[in-house]
A and B are shown apart, each in its own frame.
Chain A
Amino acid sequence: MRTRNIAFLMLIFGMVVGTLLCAVTYAQNAPEASERGKEVYEESCAHCHGTEGRGDGSAAENLLPKPRDFTRGLYKIRSTEAGELPTDQDLFDIITIGMPGSSMPGWETSLSANDRWELVAYIKTFHDGFKEGSAPPREITLAGKISYSEESVEIGKGLYTELGCIECHGNIGRGDGTSAPTLTDEWGFQTWPANLAQGWNYRGGSDTEAIFKRFIGGIAGSPMPAFEGDSFLHFGLTSEESKRLTELENKDEMTEAEDEESGQFYEKMDEAVNIALNRVEGIELSAAEQQIYDNAMKVVYEKSWHLANYVKSLTPEERPESAIGNNVLRSQYVQGELPTVDDAAWETFEARHFPLVGQVIIEPRQFNPTIDSVNVKSFYNDTEVAFLFIWDDRTHTIDETDEETGVTLEDALAVQFPVKVPQGPTAPKPYFLYGGRLPVYLWQWNASASDQVTELTAKGINNAEVQEVQGDVQAKGTYTDGQYKLWVKRSLKTEDKKDLQLESGVFVPIAFSAWDGSNGDVDTKRVVSSWYSFVLEPMPSSKRFVYPPLIALLSIGLLIGLRGIVQRRNS
């Protein structure tokens, strides 16, 4: 009986282990590419990635970032170390989730999980490195994660500068570093560093683990280096030693004792680096060497978690709400003077977020926008209204010449209203793109004249006229750390008949256009928004202090009256 039980248990155990093994092998060492994989690829992927996987499908021409060329085996989003290929799970996840901020969509709802696995297997056939017998890629370990805290963020912030992240990503991460405009990818196409303040556009997702992996493993094919192992700042030193060495290195001149001290640090680093290189070259490490390597990597990983936490702190958890229609820009009433551009009053409430998309209706078109959105706040008083428009742009372009066309490029913003507010829900609005039969009233601001807004009237995107009467609008524009701030003030009412006249409580359609000169934006090539709503939010009605108590009193009276009636009846 006993033996039979044991045999039975072993059988069950065997079956469980067997299934697990099968599952693991399936996930790790994908099945041979089947006909199905090819079929799905050609139906769903080839139009961008090309039949041969070279990233040269018919749609590729207009896209930036370009669709991945699978033949090079360079994958941006990996959970593996620098120079390694991605795991099957990495490929599966990208197919499933897509790459935010690019034209790669997620296929979770449109392809079955099985089809997505077939695709993984098929995509791997484009690159020899995936061939059977190749060593499995070395994965980045997530053990030892340091959870988010103010302290960790502070340490990460220091590293951000020390490691040189600012060169491309800029002082506070808006992708506006001094190297940003000249970056190209492995294929020679222009590429922009991530704006770390817009986590919703991180290609591989914005959770801390994802940030950590991008940092350790690099983003293959892009200019983003891998910060793994031996290239890490002061590899082989403890955090304290590293701090001390930085101190020494930043001195203009070292004393003899200091020179010796730093020399010791360098020796220690050289030893650790040597071990790390041996490891990469496939030389077996002794136990002592392994220990040195592990200790060094522990420091690298700790610091990397701090850095990941810092980057995480730069972006909101999610893209601000932008549900169209619900996204009303409400101007807040203040008594007296309106706040100026630097006034702290602007910080008292959250901006409304208006996403912008490439203008692809009228030639020249913008298929690959770099301005993501514009955030707006507004105040008004009895006579005037003030706006603050805030948008991220990686470069401050005021006078750049387009190499192809020779036209002058510069950054700009246009705010659009109808000249006359449509009366009633079915009344026609002007065409959302600079009007048409019905005209629009525009405020045009250019980075080259940052304290000036020009008033325009337009009856079409190529039919805008500068108004004869100018000077109704005051403006002040600033550019700091990859962000424009434009402050605009105007009277609610003007003498000019071509201007929009504003009135409290009236919903006015509002729309935006923006140009990023360094992205080739000029004229119709720009980013735009649909119509949204703007309203001078009326002061809460004073009736709210009159009617409710009145009704409450009335109800008490009613109750008393009712009681009287009932009492009289009873008696």
Chain B
Amino acid sequence: MKTYLLAGLALLLACSYVGGAFAAEGEEVEMLVFPDSYKASSVSSGGTISGVVKFEGDMPEMKALEITKDQAVCAATEKYDESLVVGEGNGLKNTIVYLHDISQGKDFDKATKLEIDQKGCQFSPHVQIVPVGSRLTMLNNDRVNHNVHIFSSINKPVNKQQTKNRRKMPLAGVKKAEGPVSVKCDIHGWMSAWIAYVPHPYFAVTNEKGEFSLEDVPAGTYKLGYWHEALGTNSASPDSVTVEAGGTVTQNYVLKMK
């Protein structure tokens, strides 16, 4: 029995090593990891995983974006590059923290608004989680023309003009989990956002302080990972987190420039 366990363990190790090697060879922005299948059901006495993601190093300077057109609307307020936003206490904003391997748990909160606003020629939020099959609505309150260019490669890529009078433009739900994929507006080349199309609700995006919280997690042991557009991901070597019924687990991360 023991030998089997050992062999199994060795195999697992080998697999994770090989997986890691593959992931390390991947592209600049690595992908999220999704479970093979997910079943939604009601969760009673779930636990919470929470924590803070911090940036290590000197406070990065906020890079002002060069606004090349539609100044009246786009340059009304100063715009900064959002690829690395560090808040008070070195909290790292816009990091996705999520479970890799959960196969059963709560359903998506239907009340969550799935929107990305185009406001002053900047996307808001900068990172948006979108359930597979759900419609994301693009808002345009700018009264200038935008085009919504979503660089999907597993799902069909999207590139649609949202003319200045089109306040709301819902986009068709996608079929497969994917991401994060880049969102751009070609008309205003500096506009940038990210969308993750996800199959389960255990995804969180950190706030200004770097805080995140995954709630109603059924008791069990999970792989917990993070993704940040500029600082990378630990997809290849996620942390193992054990959640107890009704309990709270804390997992903090400190990320630095690679």
For window 314-365 of A, CB contacts with B under 8 Å fall at none
Q: Which of B157, B159, B163 contacts A162 (CB 8 A)?
A: B163
Are B68 and A249 within 8 A (Cβ)? no
Q: Could you tell me if A249 and B165 are in contact, using CB atoms closer than 8 angstroms? A: yes
Chain B residue contacts of A227, Cβ below 8 A: 161
B247: interface (CB < 8 Å): no
**Measured between alpha carbons, how far is A249 from B172 in the docked complex, in Å?**
26
Are the C-beta atoms of A183 and B170 separated by less than 8 Å? no
Q: Could you give, for residues 228-240 of chain B, a 1 whenever the CB lies within 8 Å of some chain A CB and a 0 otherwise? A: 0000000000000
Contact of B151 with A by CB under 8 A: yes
Contact A233 B172 (CB under 8 A): no
In the complex, chain B residues 159-203 whose Cβ is within 8 Å of any chain A Cβ: 159-166, 169-173, 186-190
B104 on the interface (CB 8 Å rule)? no
Q: How far is the CB of A164 from chain B (nearest CB, A)?
A: 3
Does B119 sit at the interface, judged by CB under 8 A? Answer: no
CB within 8 Å of A: which B112-158 residues: 133, 135, 145, 147, 149, 151, 153, 156-158
Q: Which residues of B contact A280 (CB under 8 A)?
A: 172
Question: Is the pair B68, A164 in contact by a Cβ cutoff of 8 Å?
Answer: no
Asked whether, in the complex, the Cβ of A168 is within 8 Å of the Cβ of B166, the reply is no
- Rounded to whole angstroms, the CA-CA distance of A95 and B258 in the bound complex is 43
Q: Inside 8 A of B135's CB, which chain A residues have their CB?
A: 277
**Residue B63 interfacial (CB < 8 Å):** no
Residues on A with beta carbons closer than 8 Å to the beta carbon of B172: 277, 280-281
Chain A residues near B147: list those with CB within 8 A.
Answer: 164, 223, 225
**Quick check: is B69 within 8 A (CB to CB) of the other chain?**
yes
Interface assignment of A153: CB less than 8 Å from any CB of chain B: no
A223 touches B165 (CB 8 A): no
CA distance A168 to B188 in the complex (A): 10
Q: Given the complex of chains A and B, what is the CA–CA distance between A277 and B158 in angstroms? A: 13
Whether A163 sits at the interface, judged by CB under 8 Å, is yes
Number of inter-chain CB pairs below 8 Å = 82
| Distance in angstroms between the alpha carbons of A74 and B133 in the assembled complex | 23
Q: Is the interface of B mostly helix, strand, loop or mixed?
A: loop
**Interchain CB contact (< 8 A) of A246 among B157, B165, B186:** B165
**How far is the CB of A26 from the nearest CB of chain B, in Å?**
27
Residues of B within 8 A of A274 (CB): 170
Cβ distance B241 to chain A, nearest Cβ, rounded Å:
34
In the complex formed, the residue of B with least CB distance to A278 is B172
Are B159 and A223 in contact, CB atoms less than 8 angstroms apart?
yes
Q: CA A182 – CA B189 in complex, angstroms?
A: 6
Flag whether A218 is at the interface (Cβ < 8 A).
Answer: yes
Q: Does B186 lie within 8 Å of A281, measured CB to CB?
A: no
Question: Closest residue to A245 on the B side, CB-wise?
Answer: B165
CB of B230, distance to nearest CB on chain A (Å): 16
Mark A215-232 against chain B: 1 for CB-CB distance below 8 A, else 0.
000101001111100110
Chain B residues near A226 (CB-CB < 8 A): 159-160
Bound: A218/B172 CA distance, A? 17
Residues of A within 8 A of B161 (CB): 163-164, 225, 227, 231
Q: Is A103 an interface residue (CB 8 A)?
A: no
Tell which of B133, B163, B171 has the most Cβ of chain A within 10 Å: B163
With A178-B68, A181-B68: A277-B170 Cβ-Cβ less than 8 Å: yes
B166 touches A223 (CB 8 A): no
Set of chain A residues within 8 Å of B171, measured between Cβ atoms = 277
Residues 186-235 (chain A) with a chain B CB within 8 angstroms? 186, 218, 220, 223-227, 230-231, 233
Which single member of B69, B164, B169, B170 contacts A164 (CB below 8 Å)? B164
Contact indicator B159/A218 (Cβ below 8 Å) = yes
Q: Which residue of A lies closest to B171 (CB)?
A: A277
Chain A residues within 8 Å of chain B by Cβ, number: 34
Is the C-beta of A101 less than 8 angstroms from some C-beta in chain B? no
Determine the distance from Cα of A249 to Cα of B167 in the docked complex, in whole angstroms.
Answer: 11
For B159, B166, B173, the residue with the greatest tally of chain A CB atoms inside 10 Å of its CB is B159
B69 touches A163 (CB 8 A): no
Query: Given A72-B153, A83-B156, A179-B69, A167–B145 Cβ distance below 8 Å?
Result: yes
Any chain B CB within 8 A of the CB of A527?
no
The docked-state distance in angstroms from the alpha carbon of A349 to that of B169 is 49
Chain A residues in 8 Å Cβ range of B158: 82-83
Are A281 and B166 CB-contacts (below 8 A) given A167-B187, A183-B189?
Answer: no
A179-B187, A223-B186, A281-B173 are contacts. A233–B163 as well, Cβ < 8 Å?
A: yes
Q: Contact flags (1/0) for A269-300 with B, using CB distance below 8 Å?
A: 00001100100110000000000000000000
| A186 to B182 CA separation, bound complex (whole angstroms) | 10
Q: How far is the CA of A84 from the CA of B159 in the complex (A)?
A: 12
Assuming the contacts A164-B161, A218-B159, A231-B161, asked whether A178 and B69 have C-beta atoms less than 8 A apart, the reply is: yes
Q: Which residues of A contact B159 (CB under 8 A)?
A: 82, 218, 220, 223-226
Docked pose: A72 CA to B70 CA in angstroms: 33
Does chain B have a CB within 8 A of A375?
no
A229-271: which residues lie under 8 A (CB-CB) from chain B? 230-231, 233, 246, 249
Question: How near does chain B come to A194, taking the closest CB pair, in angstroms?
Answer: 14
- Decide: A164 and B145 in contact? CB cutoff 8 A: yes
Are B163's CB and A163's CB within 8 A?
A: yes
- Residue from A83, A168, A220, A281 within 8 A of B187 (CB atoms): A168
A54-85 vs B: 1/0 string, CB under 8 Å?
00000000000000000010100000001110
A230 to B158, CA, bound (A): 12
Report yes or no: A179 in contact with B157, Cβ–Cβ below 8 A: no
Of the candidates B157, B160, B162, B164, the one whose C-beta lies within 8 Å of that of A220 is: B157
Cβ–Cβ < 8 Å partners of A167 in chain B: 145, 187
Q: How far is the CA of A83 from the CA of B158 in the complex (A)?
A: 7
Give the chain B neighbours of A83 by CB distance below 8 A: 156-158
A184 within 8 A of B: yes
Inter-chain contact B69/A225, CB cutoff 8 Å? no
Chain B proximity mask over A147-178: 1 for CB below 8 Å, otherwise 0: 00000000000000011100110000000001
Contacts of A184 in B (CB 8 A): 186, 189
Q: How far is the CB of A250 from chain B (nearest CB, A)?
A: 8
A72: B residues at CB distance < 8 A: 153
Q: Given the complex of chains A and B, what is the CA–CA distance between A519 and B146 in angstroms?
A: 25
* A74: B residues at CB distance < 8 A: 157
Which chain A residue lies CB-closest to B135? A277
Q: Which of A82, A179, A220, A231 is in CB contact (< 8 Å) with B186?
A: A179
Contact of B149 among A162, A223, A230 (CB under 8 A): A223
Nearest B residue to A185 via CB reads B186
Q: List A contacts of B162 (CB < 8 A).
A: 231
With a cutoff of 8 Å between Cβ atoms, the chain B residues found around residue A84 in the complex are 156
- Contact between chains at B163 and A164 (CB < 8 Å): yes
* Docked pose: A230 CA to B161 CA in angstroms: 10
Q: What are 12 A-B interface contacts by the 8 Å CB criterion?
A: A82-B158, A84-B156, A164-B161, A167-B145, A168-B187, A178-B70, A183-B186, A183-B189, A220-B159, A223-B186, A224-B159, A225-B161
Nearest 6 A-B pairs (CB), nearest first?
A223-B186, A83-B156, A182-B189, A164-B145, A231-B160, A280-B172
Beyond A167-B145, A186-B157, A233-B166, list 4 extra A-B contacts (CB 8 Å). A82-B156, A178-B69, A225-B159, A231-B161
